[in-house]
Structure 1
Amino acid sequence: MVAIIKSTHSIRSVFYYNENKVKIGVAECIAAGNYPTYVDKMTDIMKLNRFIKRAELNENVKCNTLHISLNFDPSENHSKEKLITIADSYMEKIGFGEQPYLVYQHNDTKHQHLHVVTVNIEKDGKRIDLHNIGMRKSEPARKEIEEYFGLVKAEGRKKQEEFGLEPISIGSIQYGKVVSKKAIFNVLNTVVNHYKYGSLAELNAALKQYNVMADRGGEDSKMFLARGLVYHILNAKGKPIGVPIKASSFYTKPTLKFLEEKFKINEIRNMSDKSRVKNVIDMALLREPILPLTELARRLQKEGISTVFRKSTEGLLYGITYVDHTTKNVFNGSSLGKQYSAKAIEERCGLKVAGEEKRNQIYDKPRSKKLLIDDLQYQKDSLTIPDLVKALDIIMRAEYSSDYLSNQLKNKRKKKMRRGLSN
């Protein structure tokens, strides 16, 4: 069994994500923990209000919602009763046995999996600590449950996150129809609520990975002046197509006002999340002093980081954004430091700056060598012996090439020396 825990500040978005799955027939709410009646006797409002009233007991807690997925091996096929017992046992073991929670069985993948929705505010208003809950509580609980129920063990297996998304399939969308809205909603529900971004541009960098874009319109448009927001589906060229859908028409209300609150919450990021992106970029550039931007993007993609290049109509690079799908963070290049901005990345890749780029992107090797040494300095605490060996080899090759003289120049030097001797 693989257990994945996501925390968020929006109980409504998590609740309606699961209820929407129920409405389209790919999920079922199979159990309710610590509710006054059976799950089949409750309306959506009754289910949601239980969470809202509990959250209102401590409004100082910003991150008050847990969205948990329990994933079973494809070879397993458990009865509904056993799945409920497993969910109840898991919630008890992680310290949420007395909390209200809903259990949903999703049927939209090849393996059985449950989604559990709950809040971390207790009935006396106290907050349940979520810090490192995965390692402290979830991992021991998972192992105990695997042993007790005889489940296929997750140890040593590749863990696949249930929150993973696929880009919207353009061919399957009927523009302006309900299908389009549901497709956008599924993307928004994951990206808006689970990724961390500090601006609309950073949010769009993540949304565009799934063929969706948030749009305020032109600065002189009525929509922009009224602080409106719509969402588009994008075609293969990244251009908006079909009928845009108003942000206010979604259950979760991902309006501009809502997003601006998210921007404030996301102002403070974990340093480890920034360091991960910086280290991946540094290691990709360490291997070779000269590297095309497309190859850099490919290497980052292998590490779970999408790279969004912003170019002018003339094709000149003026911005770069990194979308880390592992930590769910979006960073504008300059926010990581000058070494990760668009201009610096071009230089670190060995490309001439814009004024010289027209000459077929001639490479400046002496500068590449200096930047390589700078890279070593930045990541000196994390380098391994093999990394150092590779780096030294590159530096030595760069040193050799910079001291190289063509035969023609050597001959000229010899002639000057001879003239000096004859005099």
Structure 2
Amino acid sequence: MVAIIKTGHSIRNIFNYNENKVKEGVAQCIGEGNYPVDVDKMNLTMKLNRLLKQAALNDNVTRNSVHISLNFDPSEIGLPQEKLMDIAADYMERIGFGQQPYLVYQHHDAGHPHIHLVSIKIKDDGSRIDTQNIGRNQSETARKEIEKEYGLVVAQGRKKGEGFELQPISTAKVRYGKIQSKKAITNVLSVVLPNYKYASLPELNAVLQLYNVKADRGSEGSRIFKGGGLVYRILDENGIPTGVPVKASDFYNRPTLKFLEQKFPANKVAQVLHKARVKSVINRALLGNSVVLSGFIGALEKEGVNTVLRKNTEGIVYGITYVDHTTKSVFNGSALGKPYSAKGILERCGTTAKDDHKVVVKKNDVSRRITESNRAKAITNRQGAPPMNSLIKANGDSAIEKLADLLTQAEQAPGYIPGELKGRRKKKKRRGRSDNP
């Protein structure tokens, strides 16, 4: 079992998120804790008001809501609701929320069984429950004990990389029309936003676009841009927005532009620890006898780093961003240094900004041709033009052009005098004249 705890400013938003899932037919409210009546006898207003009234006992607590998800192994898909309710009650008791009012929702919109618990941090006497480090301390202890008592699949000891995370890009890309747009975008945002280290909106989009999602501010003259708004859109396979955009404020955790901008400074500091790894991966990818941009990108992917190229309307590459899925860090190329920028990488690959599929000759072939070319020039200086077969061998496909130049040029440059024929010229003094005027 994996437990995830999130606190928030609005119990109403968390409640609406789960109830909307119920309306969509992908969830159901299976029970409650510390309510005066059973959940099947309550309407929406009764469910919500119980939480709002107790939360109002302490207005000084701004983050007063708690949203917990308990995630089970995919093999445990058949857990009965009675057992899920028992697990929820035991878990809440062990983390100090046993006396709090809470609602339990079972969701069916993921590849593994899971439940959501909606509650508040304010006790009935108005005091606040301290949730500092609750995930690392109380929750971790409760998880281990519950796994053992209920015979659940143990989360600890999973192989590295396993868990309830976003699937590989090839299988997790959002396809418009496959599932409801808001749900599809939520699945991506719920993993990317809290886990990846991005210090700007373009860096965030470098990750989101790998999954066919984009955070869009609109054009500079648009009403949404001027108002500091943000929408999330699904992209087709060509990166073109499709379908109806979803406002950031419509998601339960409200991933608005303001929310993201508050995360940028901390993420920028966290990125510093992982710069060296990305640089090292890039440098290794550029080693070897040949360097081709497509091969460079493929080599990075094997190391868990995706490369996002930015091109203008003419197809010219003007930017590059690296997404390291191992450290969950995102770097604009220029932030790593000039050699790692789009221009630097294209130069190191011997590729133009527009022709990013140009095949580059092997480095040892370049060295050999330079050496033979220099040797041919030396022979020419000493003995004149070399034989035709030597010229062709030394210069490859351009031999005919160079041969034509040699045959049509003057044998000696104007005013040229061989060194052997040069002698000392003695000045003759003219009679009756002095050298000094």
Q: Corresponding residue for 2:260?
A: 262
User: 2:70 is matched with which residue?
Assistant: 69
The match for 2:84 is 83
CA apart distance, 1:334: 4.2
Distance (whole Å) between structure 2 residues aligned to residue 138 and residue 331 of structure 1: 33
Name the CA shift for 1:223/1:127 in 2 (closer, same or farther; >3 Å): same
When Rg is computed on C-alpha atoms for both structures, the one with the higher figure is 2
Question: Which residue type is aligned with residue 315 of structure 2?
Answer: G
SS of equivalent to 1:144 = helix
Gaps of 5+ in 1: 174-178, 366-397, 418-423
- Alignment correspondent of 2:307: 307
| Gap runs ≥5 in structure 2 | 383-437
Label 1:228 to 1:283 Cα distance change in 2 as closer, same or farther (>3 A). closer
CA distance in 2, matches of 1:80, 1:228: 41
| C-alpha distance 7-337 of structure 1, shift in aligned 2 (>3 A) | farther
Classify 1:356/1:234 alpha carbon distance in 2 versus 1 (closer, same or farther; 3 Å): closer
Q: Deviations over 1:357-413 (max 9, x none)?
A: 799475897xxxxxxxxxxxxxxxxxxxxxxxxxxxxxxxx9xx9799846757988
Any idea what the Cα deviations from partners look like across 1:94-144, whole Å, max 9, x if unmatched? 44444544332223345432233445566513532137x34x444443332
The 1-side partners of 2:336 and 2:8 are apart by 25
Aligned-partner Cα distance in 1 for 2:110–2:264: 31
Q: Describe the superposition over 1:189-225 as per-residue Cα deviations: whole angstroms up to 9, x where unpaired.
A: 6655665644433343333233233333332344444
SS of alignment partner, residue 209 of structure 1: helix
Task: Tell me, in whole angstroms, the C-alpha distance in 1 between the residues paired with 2:80 and 2:219.
Answer: 54
Local SS of the residue matching 1:264: helix
TM-aligned CA deviation for residue 289 of structure 1: 1.6
**Correspondence 1:167 to 2:168:** no
- Give the superposition deviation at 1:49: 5.6
Contact 1:8–1:193 under 8 Å retained in 2: no
Instruction: Tell me, yes or no, if the aligned pair for 1:71 and 1:113 is still in contact at 8 Å.
Output: yes
Provide the residue aligned with 2:280 in structure 1: 282
Tell me which residue corresponds to 1:146. 147
After superposition, the Cα gap between the structure-2 partners of 1:29 and 1:358, relative to the gap in structure 1 and judged at 3 Å, is: closer
Query: Shift of residue 58 of structure 1?
Result: 6.9
Alpha-carbon deviations, 1:16-75, whole Å to 9, x = none? 443333222222222333445433344445545666664994767669644433213515
Shift of the 196–205 alpha-carbon distance from structure 1 to 2, 3 Å rule, reads: same
Where in structure 2 are the equivalents of 1:47-58 lying within 5 Å? 47-48=47-48, 54=55, 57=58
Where 2:218 maps in the other structure, the secondary structure is coil
Q: What is the 5 A alignment of 1:217-228?
A: 217-228=218-229
- How far has the Cα of 1:161 moved from its partner? 1.0
Relative distance call for 1:153 and 1:244 in structure 2 (3 A) is closer
Q: 1:142 to 1:44 in 2, by over 3 A?
A: same
1:321 matched residue in structure 2: 321
Counterpart of 2:21 in structure 1 is 21
Deviates more, 1:141-150 or 1:55-64: 55-64
> What letter is aligned with 1:318?
Y
Contact kept? 1:305, 1:325, Cα under 8 Å: yes
CA distance in 2, matches of 1:108, 1:210: 18
Q: Equivalences for 1:248-259 in 2 at 5 Å?
A: 250=250, 252=252, 254=254, 258-259=256-257
Change (3 A) 1:295 1:156: farther
Counterpart in 2 of 1:233? Answer: 234
Closer, same or farther: CA 243–61 of 1 in aligned 2, 3 Å: closer
Distance 1:237 1:185, change over 3 A: same
Pair 1:128-2:127 in alignment: no
1:351 is matched with 349
Query: If the length of structure 1 is used for normalisation, what is the TM-score?
Result: 0.67
**Counterpart in 1 of 2:32?**
32
Whole-angstrom CA distance in 1 between matches of 2:357 and 2:108: 56
d(CA) in 2 for partners of 1:46 and 1:271?
45
Deviations 1:268-307 (A, max 9, x none): 1285555346525523533652554444544555565543
CA distance in 2, matches of 1:15, 1:327: 33
Partner of 2:83, secondary structure, is: helix
Whether contact under 8 Å (2:338, 2:344) holds in the other structure is: yes
Deviation at 1:227, TM superposition (A): 4.5
The 8 Å contact of residues 5 and 68 in structure 2, kept in 1 or not, is answered as yes
- 1:232 corresponds to which letter in structure 2? R
Contact 1:230 1:246 in 2 (8 A): yes
Match of 1:384 in 2: none
Identity %: 43
Take 2:72 and 2:152, find their aligned partners in 1: how far apart are those partners? 11
CA contact (8 A) 1:277 1:324 kept: no
Q: Conserved in 2, the CA contact under 8 Å of 1:67 and 1:117?
A: yes
CA distance in 1, matches of 2:285, 2:204: 31
Residues 366-405 of structure 1 correspond to what in structure 2 (within 5 A)?
none
The code of the aligned residue for 2:217 comes to R
Query: C-alpha displacement at 1:148, in angstroms?
Result: 1.6
